[in-house]
Amino acid sequence: MRRWRLVAAAALTVAAATAVTITALPASAETAAFTVVSSWSNGYQGEVAVRNNTASTINTWRVELTLPAGTTIANSWNATSSASGSTYTFTPAGHNGTIAAGASTTFGFVANGTGRPTACTINGASCGGTTTPPSSQPPSSTPPSSGTPVGINGQLRVCGVNLCNQYGKAIQLRGMSTHGLQWFAKCYNSASLDALAGDWQADLLRIAMYVQESGYETNPSGFTSQVNNLVDQAEARGLYAVIDFHTLTPGDPTYNLDRAKTFFQSVSARNAAKKNVIYEIANEPNGVSWATIKNYAEQVIPVIRANDPDAVIIVGTRGWSSLGVSDGSSSAEIIANPVRAQNIMYAFHFYAASHKDNYRAEVQKAAASLPLFVSEFGTVSATGGGAVDLSSSTAWIDLLDQLKISYANWTYSDAGEGSAAFRSGTCNGSTYAGTGVLSESGAFVRSRIRTADNFPTS
């Protein structure tokens, strides 16, 4: 059921925290503002915004950053870089050299080492300023406005087979899943998340943190920080955040049991006071029995509950979270032997061009007995690619709407696959709203998500 989703570009291991602008040029010239987007124990992710404050278009720019001894730049994007000693020079990548009057562009980089720039110039003029590292403490929680999904529904819970809001009423959440954070971090910025909340009118963001495939196991603290930042970004926009421990290969979740306990202890302690967090503890178990998955869940759930007794937890199911159908089984094994825990739901994943009537029939049957959450689905084949199957996708979403089953679509990215919501190259720019930047899949899913929510309060 699962596709191999590795991109050809170099994998970047980055992590996010509160952004802090720390240097800028005087007004009335081209300016450059350096921001620490994220930091971890032995590095950080930086971003530089180049703005044209003149009255005329500029056709090129050059930013030079000098770093202290022991800090180097490992990777960069949206710029061409070169190094001379400890000074790094950044020039346009090609698509972002021309900047209209009053407009701006950005580029980013990953630094090995913790030293911030000691000197900065743009087009030969000094940037000046001093650096301030971002706080390692979680930002204070700001309640979302009353009209947002979180503002209306508050703390969620499972009631019967439904996901229910703070008023005990059954609701359906609709939204998007990120792609792997190690590959597509640049797709998850203020502009794209504003578009998801405002233009798409989504209810949730699923944060897909791969464990293997150059993910969490390579930098646990960095990826944990990145997940926490996206939880905060979702909260600020009134969106629910599904923290997805994205296990895929190997398919036995117990392989990552110790990592899962460490990760969920950290994120549940940090985010326990938030109302917008849902935990997904194993993305797509495969090649193992339901008994193995259940045993894993019953060891991880208490770790979360020790910190966060109220949050909804999603448990993966057999056969790539197909309720066992892809393994020739069915939901009957779960109904006969459910996880011994409260306030949990069971994951179901589908890809519309590959999974059709027999999968839909199983969901319809299982939904009468089990609380289901479609934490990932695609409009294309199980490879993540191929043509969009509009007929099957429509049948699926109609069924989920009918049953009030929440869903997240794969994937809110510009990956080179049919499931990507954005056209290739979109994440190199700054425009995410509207249909002009969307793929066929993105345009279809956006149109379904934008239909009015039904969030009863009485």
- The one catalytic residue in 47, 64, 376, 417 is 376
Cα torsion for 211, 114, 232, 351, to the nearest 10°?
A: -30
Nearest CA-CA partner of 117 in 197, 21, 192: 21
Torsions phi, psi for 301 (to 5 deg): -55, -45
For the chain, helix (H) and strand (E) counts, in that order, are 11, 21
Tell me how far apart the alpha carbons of residues 357 and 109 are, in angstroms, rounded to a whole number: 46
Torsions phi, psi for 185 (to 5 deg): -55, -35
DSSP secondary structure, 133-199, as one string: PPPSSPPPP-PPPTTSHHHHH-S-EEETTEEE-TTS-EE--EEEE---HHHHGGG-SHHHHHIIIII
DSSP H helices, 308-439, are 318-321, 332-336, 357-366, 390-403
Q: Residue 295: what residue type?
A: N
- The one catalytic residue in 30, 284, 333, 362 is 284
Strand partners, 20: 36
Q: Which two tokens stand for residue 434?
A: 């509207």
The yes-or-no answer on residue 376 being catalytic is yes
Strand partners, 415: none
Sheet holding 63-66, edge to edge: 79-84, 87-92, 63-66, 119-122, 125-126
CA atoms within 13 A on the CB side of 445: 30
Q: Residue 333: what residue type?
A: E
Burial of 458 (0-12, 13-18, 19+ CB in 10 A): exposed
The yes-or-no answer on residue 362 being catalytic is no
DSSP H helices, 238-385, are 257-271, 290-307, 318-321, 332-336, 357-366
CB atoms within 10 A of CB 314: 28
What residues act catalytically?
284, 376
